[in-house]
């Protein structure tokens, strides 16, 4: 029996079974297809016959979506816009995230890594158990993206659980309580960015809020972009840091390859246990996926975590192997919506994993990790370690 609990604990046996038995699986209750092969998921990400589920699609398929702040945010955000609206919104952000701009962040990322590892050393002194998520995995990315966006440091911690509530909306099935929490969180996060935008109009600074305040974006658009970039900027990276560290303490022979192979951690950790587990698309016209005919206008979910463990693409897919050649996972999406922050997330992982196990060679788990209660995003609420 497939349950959300089992999927949260370990989705990989379910993915393997689906890939073997029904790689293009139609769930009649949800009226949606679910894909588990690398080639099929890649087709959905890059093929012109697929669109993201924008407002026009939601009007037909999700009655009442405009009445909920969270679903309104979701279906009108950059993530769920199609060209030409998508291209216009993405242009407002893309200048701040070029490879050159991100590489210029290296000294700042190094300072942040140094600070969080210093705190890990302090809290873990004398064999004390420390939660890696509270100490490293969340504080590192939230301060990096928070400074770029322009969210003052003291304000940053409150967003961890607000964005957590919002991200649960990406699961294929959600209950009323989850929707209510996502709505409340969306209202709070949007109100925060409305205030910040208004403030920066009068007092500009060197940050993304000020760039958008000075642009020709409507207020609602600017607020949604800021909320998305900030949330997406720390949420998945927090997942990545925890998942990668968990993999490295589980396979100490791999941790011993650090720091030499530090830059391989990002791709292999995302491949082995992806922080983002699914992408949602809809068919813009009738099409064929594998050997299945799929009609126009239906939802198709690509399981990124399943594609990344497809034996047709990766030899011995369940083994975590930093020496793997051509790891290139689908965890950052692809095509028009390819992750805007990929270079920033990679930079943080490169700097962190060049140091973590050199500074703390005895880092080990010190209790049962607690998984996040969401299928679409994979990470830990808590990861107890000793250094």
Q: Which residues bind ligand HEM (CB under 6 A)?
A: 78-79, 90, 97, 145, 228-229, 232-233, 236-237, 240, 270, 275-276, 279, 331-333, 337, 339-341, 344-345
- Between CA 345 and CA 347 the distance in angstroms is 5
- Please report how close the Cβ of residue 82 comes to ligand HEM at its closest, in angstroms: 10
254 vs 308, which CB is nearer to ligand HEM? 308
- Please report how close the Cβ of residue 65 comes to ligand HEM at its closest, in angstroms: 17
C-alpha distances in angstroms, 209 versus 192, 196, 212, 276? Answer: 12, 7, 5, 26
- Please report how close the Cβ of residue 229 comes to ligand HEM at its closest, in angstroms: 5
- Please report how close the Cβ of residue 282 comes to ligand HEM at its closest, in angstroms: 11
Residue facing ligand HEM at closest CB distance: 341
236 vs 245, which CB is nearer to ligand HEM? 236
| Interacting residues of 61 by C-beta distance below 8 A, sequence separation 6+ | 53, 297, 299
User: At 119, phi and psi to the nearest 5?
Assistant: -70, -40
Return the number of other C-beta atoms located less than 10 Å from residue 40's C-beta.
Answer: 23
- Please report how close the Cβ of residue 127 comes to ligand HEM at its closest, in angstroms: 31
Q: Residue 229 in contact with residue 97, Cβ under 8 Å?
A: no
- Between CA 89 and CA 221 the distance in angstroms is 8
182 vs 279, which CB is nearer to ligand HEM? 279
229 vs 248, which CB is nearer to ligand HEM? 229
- Between CA 266 and CA 270 the distance in angstroms is 6
- Between CA 212 and CA 234 the distance in angstroms is 20
Q: Is the peptide bond before 259 cis (omega within 30 degrees of 0)?
A: yes
136 vs 232, which CB is nearer to ligand HEM? 232
44 vs 197, which CB is nearer to ligand HEM? 44
Which residues does residue 131 pair with via DSSP β-bridges, in sequence order? Answer: 384
- Please report how close the Cβ of residue 138 comes to ligand HEM at its closest, in angstroms: 13
């Amino acid at each position: 029996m497939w349950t959300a609990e089992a999927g949260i604990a370990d989705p990989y046996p379910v993915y393997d079974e689906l890939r073997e038995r029904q790689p293009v699986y139609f769930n009649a209750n949800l009226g949606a297809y679910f894909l588990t092969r690398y080639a099929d998921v890649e087709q959905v990400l890059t093929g012109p016959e697929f669109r993201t589920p924008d407002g026009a699609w939601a009007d037909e398929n999700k009655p009442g979506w405009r009445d909920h702040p969270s679903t309104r945010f979701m279906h009108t955000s950059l993530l769920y816009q199609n060209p030409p609206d998508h291209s216009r919104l993405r242009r407002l952000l893309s200048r701040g995230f070029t490879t050159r701009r991100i590489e210029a962040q290296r000294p700042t990322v190094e300072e942040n890594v140094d600070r969080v590892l210093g705190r890990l050393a302090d809290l873990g002194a004398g064999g004390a158990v420390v939660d890696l998520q509270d100490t490293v995995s969340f504080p590192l990315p939230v301060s990096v993206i928070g400074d770029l966006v322009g969210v003052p440091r003291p304000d940053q911690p409150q967003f961890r659980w607000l964005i957590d509530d919002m991200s649960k909306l990406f699961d294929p099935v959600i209950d009323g309580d989850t929707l209510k929490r996502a709505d409340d969180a969306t209202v709070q996060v949007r109100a925060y960015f409305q205030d910040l935008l208004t403030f920066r109009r009068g007092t500009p600074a060197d940050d993304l809020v000020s760039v958008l305040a000075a642009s020709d974006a409507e207020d609602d658009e600017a607020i949604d972009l800021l909320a998305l970039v900030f949330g997406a900027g720390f949420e998945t990276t927090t997942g990545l840091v925890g998942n990668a560290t968990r993999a490295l303490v589980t396979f100490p022979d791999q941790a011993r390859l650090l720091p030499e192979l530090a830059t391989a951690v990002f791709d292999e950790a995302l491949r082995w246990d992806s922080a983002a587990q699914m992408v949602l698309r809809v068919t813009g016209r009738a099409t064929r996926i594998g050997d299945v005919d799929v009609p126009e206008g239906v939802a198709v979910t690509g399981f990124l975590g399943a594609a990344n463990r497809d034996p047709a693409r990766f030899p011995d897919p369940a083994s975590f192997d930093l020496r793997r050649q051509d790891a290139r996972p689908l965890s950052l999406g692809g095509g028009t919506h390819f992750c805007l922050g990929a270079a920033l997330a990679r930079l943080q992982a490169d700097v962190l994993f060049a140091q973590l196990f050199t500074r703390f060679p005895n880092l080990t788990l010190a209790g049962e990790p607690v998984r996040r209660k969401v299928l679409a995003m994979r990470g830990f609420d808590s990861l107890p370690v000793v250094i």
